[in-house]
Structures are given as structure tokens and as C-alpha cells.
Structure 1
Amino acid sequence: MPKPKFSENRTCAAFQGALDALDVIGNWSWDADTDRIQADLFVALLFNVDPKEAEAGLPLDAFLASIHPEDRDRVQAHIHRGGRGGGLYVIEYRVCSADGVTRWVLGRGRFLHDHRGQPVSGRGIIVDITDVRMGEASSGAVEMTEFHEPEPPLERAADFAMAAHQAICELEDPALKARADALLLDLGRKLAEQEQRLRRTQMN
């Protein structure tokens, strides 16, 4: 298990603060030109990377290092597949977070390509679904689910909410950001519930 990047007390306090402020959801974005992923505080702590470095941008390997060894190859393969083919993906896996706890997360993202088919960017959300997972008897992982147009309303709403959240963060308006955070949180929970129903259907 990767060692926390901070002192134990500081890590626990930072993680608890993020949980109190953001509950169970974080955001990330990827730029093809720099090949760097920028992530917010919650994602940084989930993946045990320095929050300031995550905000500035880190290579994919920095985040992959904290994915559970049994899930890492599967997640990396899906990310590369999404980067090549574009479109939306949803995947569940485990991470060894900064407080030393192994958590289940739901990753939901999209990669965009230019007219030549080359990837240019990606963005997504990470939802902590540990409580949902711990309440289930099954520990099997759910493979990536790709959605094709026309997208369900929930998927379209998540796309628009992520784009709006990014723009609102640039405005530096705390009140608007709090509302955007709340909307993303609600959508993240709905996405987690959707995946839970899918998993139950596949098990029956």
C-alpha cells in the first residue's frame, strides 16, 4: 500500500475536511498537449497525491500508483481504450487513499477527439461509493460500461454539470460554486445508484 504523502494527523484532518465539504465526489480533467491530469482536493486525497501538485497537473502514473493492485491493469486498459476511442465510460475500482483506507470509487468520464480522431482532452468525476459497496455481499468489479448516443438524460446532465462546474470555478464565486458542488454530488449519487442497479441486474 502506498504510504501517505503527509503526516498522519495532517492527512486525516485534510481528508475529513474534504469529506465534510464535498461529501463523496471530486473532479478531474486531462489535457492531451501536456499529458497531465488536474484534480481537485478530494481526488488528490483519494489517490494519495499532493493536492497542490494535483491542482497543477500530474502524469497518469501518479494516480495509477494508488489504485488497488488487483484493479490497476483493468483500469489502465479502460482509460487507454477510452483515450483512443473517445466517448463516455463508467468503471468501479478500489484506491488506497491518503488516510490509509482502501475505498471503492466510481469513475465516470469522457474523452474528446479532434476532427482527425486525435484525443485532445478528457474530464470526469470520481464518486466515493465505499458505503454502497460495503453494504453488498458481492465484491466483484463491474467492467466499464460505454454509452452510445442518444445518451440517457442522467448522462447528459452529468456532462453539462461538469462543464458548468468548471466555468463556475473560474468565476471564483463561493455561493455559485457551492451550488455547483451540490448538483455534482447529487448527480454522482444518482450515477452510483444507476451502477448499483446494473450490477444487481447482471447478478440475477
Structure 2
Amino acid sequence: MSKSKPRDVETNFDAFQHALDALDVIGRWNWDAATDRVRSDAFVALLFNLAPEEAEEGVPLTSYVEAVHADDRQRVLSLIRRSAQEGSTYLTEYRVISIDGRTRWVLARGRFTRDRSGKAVAGGGILVDVTRMRMSEGTFDDVEVPSGGVPLDRAADLLIAAQQAIVESEDPTLKILADALLMAVGRRLAQRETEERRRHMN
């Protein structure tokens, strides 16, 4: 499957690098089971080597899967399938090959919803680029991050569900507020993971 690249690749590289140079970089995505389309913001699109315009319109889930590092792909797919079957949340880290050709680490938190028959109907979540943290710590082993029942985890799960519902409502003001709150919680999750890693290293 060929991917359409952004028209102005150099500009996108510069914008992507600028975003990655920020202290914390977070993106969001939503999946509609009926169409098997994933819609994401520009940051997630560039992380997964996709054109932002296409990602905003929605592309097949396989387009994102192709960008997951080959060594992590089966583990991530198994985790996502299990989460979709159970209608549960997941929290994990994995590598992706981004639009600039580099391998990057992401911390991913997602949630799936099911209908009354138990079939997955939607999904959504956030991604945090944790490459800088991984590089500074020298921790490049595969990591499965346990999803806990602490308040921050519950808040992230509820916000992901709320954000999905707000997207469906097509209210631009609520969407801006929901996105801002989801991003703030994503930053806290990333900070917490960094602190946890430092504690385990000491």
C-alpha cells in the first residue's frame, strides 16, 4: 500500500522536529469500527509516517500498523486486539518509524468501547513521544507498562471516552476544551512514567 506523503516534506520535517524538541509532545487518535478509519492529529500522523491531511480525514488502521517497529508489532497488535475484545484500556510503550525515518518511542494509552453484543465499535487514545527520556536513560528494552487503578489512570480513561463522545457531537468549543484537558493529563502520565523509571533505576 503506497502512502501519500505531505506535499511540502521539508516544512513538515521542520515542524515535526520543532514539536519533538518541545519538553512534552502529545497527540490523539480516534478509531471508528464501522469504517475501520483512524483519525488523528498532525503530530500522530507524522509519528506514523502519514500525511496530516489524510490522517485528519481518516485512514485504515493498517496504515498506522505499518509504522510500528517490526520487533514491537505483534506485541502491540495482540494488546490492542485484547483490549478491543474486552472493551478495556491499555497502556504500553513501543517504537514507531516516523516521517523523518527515525525510530521513536511512544507511550500509548487507549480505550475501546463495545456495543451490547460485545463487538468493538470505537476506540481512542493518546500518544506521548518518550524518545528523549529513553535516550537519556539508556533504557531501550521492551517495556509493558501496567495499567493501574490510580486516579490519574481513571481520569485518562474517562477523558478518552468523553473526547470520543464530544467528537461525535461536532461541537468545536467542547472539542477544544476536551483536547486541552486530555493533553494535560497525557503530560502528567508522561511525567509519572519518567518518575517511576527514575525510582526503579536508583
TM-score exceeds 0.5: yes
2 CA distance for matches of 1:12 and 1:23?
Answer: 18
Q: Secondary structure at the match of 1:66?
A: coil
Q: Which residue of 2 aligns with 1:72?
A: 73
CA drift of 1:139 comes to: 1.1
Q: Which residue of 2 aligns with 1:184?
A: 182
The range that moved more, 186-195 or 86-95, is 186-195
Provide TM-score, normalisation by structure 2: 0.81
Contact 1:111 1:122 in 2 (8 A): yes
Report the CA distance shift for 1:201/1:86 in structure 2 as closer, same or farther (over 3 A): farther
Q: Which residue of 2 aligns with 1:171?
A: 171
Q: Which residue of 1 aligns with 2:5?
A: 5
Contact 2:32 2:122 in 1 (8 A): yes
2 CA distance for matches of 1:104 and 1:83?
Answer: 23
What letter corresponds to residue 186 of structure 2 in structure 1? Answer: G
Provide TM-score, normalisation by structure 1: 0.81
Q: Which residue of 2 aligns with 1:161?
A: 159
Matches within 5 A, 1:12-161: 12-16=13-17, 18=19, 23-147=24-148, 151-161=149-159
Q: Secondary structure at the match of 2:59?
A: coil
Q: Secondary structure at the match of 1:135?
A: helix
CA drift of 1:11 comes to: 2.5
1 CA distance for matches of 2:71 and 2:5?
Answer: 22
CA drift of 1:189 comes to: 2.3
Q: Secondary structure at the match of 1:81?
A: helix
Report the CA distance shift for 1:165/1:16 in structure 2 as closer, same or farther (over 3 A): farther
What letter corresponds to residue 195 of structure 1 in structure 2? Answer: E
Q: Secondary structure at the match of 2:137?
A: coil
1:68-126 deviation line (CA, Å, top 9, x unaligned)? 11111111111111111221100101111112222110110011112221111111001
2 CA distance for matches of 1:34 and 1:72?
Answer: 22
Report the CA distance shift for 1:119/1:107 in structure 2 as closer, same or farther (over 3 A): same
What letter corresponds to residue 183 of structure 1 in structure 2? Answer: L
Q: Secondary structure at the match of 1:45?
A: helix
2 CA distance for matches of 1:41 and 1:22?
Answer: 18
> In percent, how many aligned pairs have the same letter?
50
Q: Secondary structure at the match of 2:128?
A: strand
CA drift of 1:27 comes to: 0.7
1 CA distance for matches of 2:55 and 2:23?
Answer: 17
Unaligned runs of at least 5 residues, structure 1: none
What letter corresponds to residue 84 of structure 1 in structure 2? Answer: Q
Contact 1:3 1:100 in 2 (8 A): no
